[in-house]
Amino acid sequence: MKTAERAALILLALIMVFSAGCRGVYHRPEPTAEPTSELTETPVPTETPVPTDTPVPLPDGIPQGLSDYALDRVLRAKEIMDELIDYIRSSPIPFDSSAHPFVPANKYGELGDEEKDYYDQMLEAASEYRDLELEGSEYAISSALTALLYDHPDIETYFRMEQAPDGKWKSVIFLPSSRYGGPEEDIDKVREQVEAFRAVGEYVAFRVPDDFSVIDKYRLLGYYISVVSQYAYVHGIVPNYATCAYGAVINGYSICQGYALGFEYLCRCADLDCSRVRNRHNDDNMHFWDIVTLDCGTYYVDVTWCDGSVSDYRDFYWTRWFMFPADSEHIANDGSVTTGRELGLFAR
């Protein structure tokens, strides 16, 4: 081989070796482990999850869905009723008489057409917790309002009409627990307290045992008012709530008017006959109590005096002003009279 050809072959070989070194060598990576179901699939729960908002079971007679405020009041009513029912079962007063059902006086039916129109407007406004303005006869509007509040004791706890200097009548929505009864802007709070008032009345009525004598049914409701309420007249100041049933049933403070209306309200809820009565000797002396009907006649119940005469409802003297015939200190100004004779069952 010629010298030139040999030199060319050597040069070609060197170029091939250099080129291979610059490119390098590709090495395929080792495969990873095959995927498994444990790594790629989401586990399926074997049990159905329990919702965290499951309602807590409540005692019989207490509905679900009450506000915290209303539920707290009803649970307190349960504690009181448990105690009172146990006490009366330990010392019952047998009495052979049937309970007379509560018969509404139907004040609406006693109104004229003009008064009924005002009554309907006020009932709608009160039920919707909204403002109302009326113009017309003072007598007609005040008569309609009186009938409305008698027929609907729950409305009396938060609604009234006031006559302005211009002669117009304007509604006032107030908080049932308010000391002064001024206008309330927080309507949800008003609804909450009214709900509590209604719920407690319904629950107390639910708990009245069917096997109690009619005397013990009334005694149970009278005891309830005594336990919950105390007299609220202090230094000539009477809180607004003390004059209606709310003070005796929920707020815990009443004057005679609140005691009488509170007892009447619970009797209504329990379908027991009861009506408020009052007397007035002069502008500074008015008193309220109740009249109930038994098979043997009608009797007075003065829960204010029952509660005020003793420090504990278990004192037998509590019955001094319970189921008694009319006396010189209880003469109703509406002509209501008692027809029953002394029962001989109570402290006199």
Please write the tens of the pLDDT for every residue from 219-277.
999 999 999 999 987 656 788 999 999 999 999 999 999 999 999 999 999 999 999 99
Q: Can you tell me the mean pLDDT for 4-32?
A: 44
Q: Are strands 230-231 and 253-254 parallel, antiparallel or unpaired?
A: parallel
pLDDT band at 52 (very low <50, low <70, confident <90, very high): low
Position 235 scores a pLDDT of: 56
Q: Can you tell me the mean pLDDT for 81-105?
A: 92
160: Cα separation from own chain's centroid: 20
DSSP 101: P
Contact criterion met (CB below 8 Å) for 153 and 92: no
Q: Can you tell me the mean pLDDT for 181-203?
A: 97
Alpha-carbon distances of 255 from 107, 132, 247, 252, 286, rounded to whole Å:
25, 29, 9, 10, 11
Q: How many CB atoms lie within 10 A of CB 203?
A: 21
Cα–Cα distance measured from residue 339 to residue 290, given in angstroms and rounded to the nearest whole number: 14
319-344 pLDDT, tens digit per residue, is: 999 999 988 889 888 888 899 999 99
Position 3 scores a pLDDT of: 52
23: left (phi over 0), alpha (psi -120 to 50) or beta: alpha
pLDDT exceeds cutoff 90 at 176: yes
Model-wide pTM > 0.85: no
Which pair of structure tokens corresponds to residue 274? 């009861």
235: left (phi over 0), alpha (psi -120 to 50) or beta: left
Query: What is the third-level CATH fold of 68-99+186-324?
Result: C8orf32 fold (3.10.620)
Position 329 scores a pLDDT of: 87
Q: Are strands 169-173 and 230-231 parallel, antiparallel or unpaired?
A: unpaired
Cα–Cα distance measured from residue 87 to residue 314, given in angstroms and rounded to the nearest whole number: 8
pLDDT exceeds cutoff 60 at 48: no
Cα–Cα distance measured from residue 326 to residue 196, given in angstroms and rounded to the nearest whole number: 35
Alpha-carbon distances of 151 from 110, 123, 217, 275, rounded to whole Å:
12, 10, 23, 12
Cα–Cα distance measured from residue 174 to residue 198, given in angstroms and rounded to the nearest whole number: 17
Among 131, 125, 166, residue whose Cα is nearest residue 144: 125
pLDDT band at 6 (very low <50, low <70, confident <90, very high): low
Q: What order of strands is seen across the sheet that includes strand 133-134?
A: 133-134, 169-173, 159-163
Q: Can you tell me the mean pLDDT for 1-8?
A: 51
CB burial of 151-185 (b: ≥16 within 10 Å; e: otherwise) equals: bbbbbbbbbbbeeeeeeebebebbbbbbeebeebe
pLDDT band at 171 (very low <50, low <70, confident <90, very high): very high
Own/partner pairs, 317-323, CB within 8 angstroms, 24+ separation: 317/347, 318/223, 318/226, 318/347, 319/219, 319/345, 319/346, 319/347, 320/346, 320/347, 320/348, 321/289, 322/218, 322/219, 322/222, 322/346, 323/215, 323/218, 323/292, 323/294, 323/299
